[in-house]
Amino acid sequence: MLRIFHNLFGINEQSRFQRAWQAFLLGICAPFGWLFITFLLQLTPVDPLYEVALYTYITVGSVFAMVGFALCISKSEEHFARMSLLDPLTTLYNSRYLLTRADQEFALLERTGQHMALLMADIDHFKYVNDQYGHSVGDIVLHQVAKVMQTTARKVDVVARVGGEEFALLLPNSTTAGAMILAERIRERIEHTPIVLPDGRSFNVKISLGVSSTEEFLPQVFNELYESADNALYRAKRDGRNRVVKAVETDMLTNDVAC
């Protein structure tokens, strides 16, 4: 886990050494740079321009150092801001980003009437995978399933992990028919893509999906669309799993189902 954290945030022994080496070069180059300038301009401490050149050198060097420092800080802030929106295990977006994008898409829907769809997906019998193979294998399953979803979805789609083995796909500018086609494609690819373990073993998992779309009914808030897709997912689980089910506006089931 510590190694994963280090890899995610760029904190490792190599980067520490690089930072220390860069700091050393910066520190030693400053006086050597001044010596080079005095040699180039033939300046001595008694020269009237010596102090002017020294203060200019210090000022310009300080400005460049501060600008470089600000750029590094800005880059780090952008990196950590992005990481705060990603699921660390699968590198998919997390619920926070999904809700942010959903609000944006709802605003677009109000302005332009551009519909969107939501897929809710859950790995079938995932508890059995963890019990049979261990949680480390469960993590491999989550990562590979996430990869299939990400490579199958469109570039404009938002693929997020919203729970333990539960995923959501927000499909901007999508019809119900298009969402159903994508959901079925994802289901088939996951079913036929072996989960390959480090020791060479492999097995297959299956997934259930629920589909809801603003084309079918117009929810007032994203939570209604989310609940509608989640209820469709419940029906897919209830009816035998490994299937895609379209939401019905009046179907507001709230029962939980075991994975």
Contact 210, 230 (CB under 8 A): yes
List CB contacts of 192: < 8 A, sequence separation 6 or more.
204
List CB contacts of 190: < 8 A, sequence separation 6 or more.
145, 148, 149, 205, 206, 207
Q: Which of 77, 78, 165, 188 is catalytic?
A: 165
Nearest of 258, 125, 149, 89 to residue 204 by alpha carbon: 125
Please confirm, yes or no, whether 105 is among the known catalytic residues: no
| Cα distance between residue 85 and residue 71, in whole Å | 22
The 3-state DSSP class for residue 165 equals: coil
| Cα distance between residue 243 and residue 258, in whole Å | 16
Which residue reads 């020294």 in tokens? Answer: 54
Contact 182, 128 (CB under 8 A): no
Nearest of 96, 18, 19, 29 to residue 57 by alpha carbon: 29
List CB contacts of 5: < 8 A, sequence separation 6 or more.
11, 88
Write b or e for each residue in 2-11: b if 16 or more Cβ atoms lie within 10 A of its Cβ, otherwise e.
eeeeeeeeee
As annotated, the active-site residues are: 165
